[in-house]
Amino acid sequence: MIPVTKPFLPPREEYNQFLDGIWNREWLTNMGPLASKLEMLLKDYLDVNHLLYVTNGTVALQLAIKALELKGEIITTSFSFVATTSSIVWEGCTPVFVDIDQKTLNIDAGKIEAAITENTSAILATHVYGNPCDVYHIQQIADKYNLKVIYDAAHAFAVTINGKSILEFGDISTCSLHATKLYHSIEGGLVVTKNPNLLKKIAYMRNFGISGFDSFSELGINAKNSEFHAAMGLANLNWVDRLIARRLEIINRYLSNLQGFKGQMPKWNSLANNNGAYLPFVLESEELLLRIKASLDSFEIFTRRYFYPSLASSLPYLEPNFLPITEDISRRMLCLPLYYELTDEEIDWICRLILRTQNN
């Protein structure tokens, strides 16, 4: 079987080296020394001003919305994982969907302004597959209308734009360290902001709002992470550059093999690096997608229709909203297998099956 993704696990001894310390200290959670160390090392690795390590990427989004005290409408994209939208609704706000750019698949910044009303409080945009949004245009709009900006950078670990971490844009950026991501701590998330006061506020919120032994400063939640998760993050951090390099090699081998394939990858932001997070193709038609998917399934080679269906038209807790480009792209988008251990022989086999199916 070839899955669409496979969590990377470091050599067991590299993870085990952290376990003796956990047993000796008996400090399992509540931002212990390993979680604090991971926070510091990730801040340095990603070259960001302020970073918090939290439970997961969804909680990171919820903290961002709550910390910015957002109300009313938040402009967003429906071409994203459901957590982007559900976090908005969970925090009592209303998502207002804007269609995507047909080439980049990110929110179309040129359509945002038309969606702004007197009830708009923020823009929440996703760097889809790690491909940076038009952050400069979005910030101009936000400044013009006095809106907050949150970026869902779940896929964008280690992505930079003009040499600057993509996580440094907006009022808050969030990232996911889920096991399926190229770099993970089994479960985990990051909250990044340039504002030290905002960081302090979210740090209290992460720990129930506790600001001292007998005091509270904020409405809080339990968004801390455990020492066991942090240990995996520390072990994997030693591998992350190799993981990205190998994933980019895999992508290039796919592209070399798939000459004549009736599918296009999203147009990557020319100012940014590619972190090799995903291998997405927009196929010529949904019919071709379904044929290729069925063919690969028959050999236990698994792909993913990521993202399908469109959130704007499929969530039971929202009124359906038809966005023509999002609807079209979501029906034709297929992500192919991509993970560190995928071999060249497996890649070649997958590509032969795709082209054979396409041409039959």
Q: How many other C-beta atoms are found inside a 10 Å radius of the C-beta of residue 265?
A: 18
Gap between the Cα atoms of 201 and 203, Å rounded: 5
* Number of residues that make up the chain: 360
3-state secondary structure of 236: helix
**Nearest residue to 264 (alpha-carbon basis) of 244, 284, 243:** 284
pLDDT, residue 360, reads 86
pLDDT, residue 170, reads 98
Angle in degrees, CA 37, 38, 41, rounded to 5: 85
pLDDT along the chain (360 residues), means of 10: 98 96 96 97 97 98 98 98 98 98 98 98 98 98 98 98 97 98 98 97 96 92 98 98 98 97 97 98 98 98 97 95 97 98 98 96
Token pair 């990051």 is found at: 190
* Residue type (1 letter), 255: L
Residues 263-279: pLDDT tens digits? 999 999 999 999 999 99
Gap between the Cα atoms of 348 and 330, Å rounded: 26
Residues 66-103: pLDDT tens digits? 999 999 999 999 999 999 999 999 999 999 999 999 99
**Nearest residue to 187 (alpha-carbon basis) of 228, 221, 152:** 228
3-state secondary structure of 282: strand
pLDDT, residue 213, reads 87
Q: Which domains does the chain have, with CATH numbers?
A: 12-237 (3.40.640.10), 240-359 (3.90.1150.10)
Q: Is the peptide bond before 309 cis (omega within 30 degrees of 0)?
A: yes
Gap between the Cα atoms of 188 and 230, Å rounded: 8
The kind and range of the H/E element at 21 are helix 12-25
Residues 97-147: pLDDT tens digits? 999 999 999 999 999 999 999 999 999 999 999 999 999 999 999 999 999
Q: How many other C-beta atoms are found inside a 10 Å radius of the C-beta of residue 99?
A: 23
Structure tokens at 186: 């089994």
Gap between the Cα atoms of 113 and 96, Å rounded: 12
Helical pair 344-359 and 286-298, crossing angle rounded to 10 deg: 130
